[in-house]
Amino acid sequence: MFYAEKINNLTVYCSDLLSDLNHCFTTRLEVESFSPNIIAKAWNCDENNIIHPIQTHSANVKFSEIGVKDYPDTDSVIMTNPEQMLYLKFADCTPVILYDKKANIGAIAHAGWRGTTQRIVPKTLQKMIKYSHSDVCDIYCIIGPAIGGCCYKVGEEVINGIKSSVRDYKDSVISKSDGIYVDLKGVNSQQLLEFGVPKENIDICPFCTSCRNDLFYSYRKENGTIERHYAIIKLKN
Ligand SMILES: [Zn+2]
């Protein structure tokens, strides 16, 4: 379940499934422009160990490396080192945090419609399991704030891409009188279930970024805003 918490007077959201991982989804409350350094400070992370990839709506997954700051053309990063803090930026696209409790490794994936269609989350999971040899039952998956099936009206290219990315899309592709809507959080959750992640290991944020534009940024609702909220993780020692 998601709950609000304060980190240095900033409101963030967390999942109670991830008590073993430093993690949060930031909001737009209390800040003009958010800096991840605030969270790094609270989690005792050196500024030099903050990493963030250049997100390009790809399905490229990389492992973080100590001393490497540049992750070009990367939309999912797997962390194996507790010294580093990782963040990715979002406004409507789906943030997915993956955590392998047994091996203590974690990842954040950026799953917009392109990433979701290219199955970036199962791809990340596959790489994590190959690295740790953990069982899929040891993986926890947190699907963060994203535009909901209530607001995400899409065209044919998106519908076809989404339909080919999962076996069962009946709950995630929604026909309404004015067009077809897609629930990206639902599609990503379905991909995880079809991969074998137990349902009780998956937590889905209830907020739609467009409906709750007071809490989060929405690229659609705000006509292409450049502002972003963040998904952030740091492994515990
Ligand atoms: Zn909505």
Give the fold, CATH level 3, of 2-147+202-235.
Answer: CNF1/YfiH-like putative cysteine hydrolases (3.60.140)
Strands 139-143 and 50-51: unpaired
Q: Say how many Å lie between the first and final Cα of the chain, rounded.
A: 24
- Could you tell me the distance, in angstroms and rounded to a whole number, from the CA of residue 149 to the centre of ligand 1? 7
Query: Do 119 and 184 form a contact (C-beta atoms < 8 A)?
Result: no
**Burial class, 106, CB count within 10 angstroms (exposed 0-12 / middle 13-18 / buried 19+):** buried
pLDDT digits (tens, 9 = 90+) for 10-31: 999 999 999 999 999 999 998 8
At residue 201, the pLDDT reads 98
**What are the helix and strand counts (H, E) for the chain?**
5, 15
Residues 6 or more apart whose Cβ sits within 8 Å of residue 101: 20, 138, 139, 140
- Could you tell me the distance, in angstroms and rounded to a whole number, from the CA of residue 94 to the centre of ligand 1? 13
- Could you tell me the distance, in angstroms and rounded to a whole number, from the CA of residue 212 to the centre of ligand 1? 7
> Does 237 have pLDDT greater than 90?
no
pLDDT digits (tens, 9 = 90+) for 216-231: 999 999 999 999 999 9
At residue 69, the pLDDT reads 87
- Could you tell me the distance, in angstroms and rounded to a whole number, from the CA of residue 175 to the centre of ligand 1? 15
> Does 33 have pLDDT greater than 90?
no
Strands 229-235 and 85-90: antiparallel
Rounded to whole angstroms, the Cα distance separating 107 from 233 reads 8
- Could you tell me the distance, in angstroms and rounded to a whole number, from the CA of residue 219 to the centre of ligand 1? 12
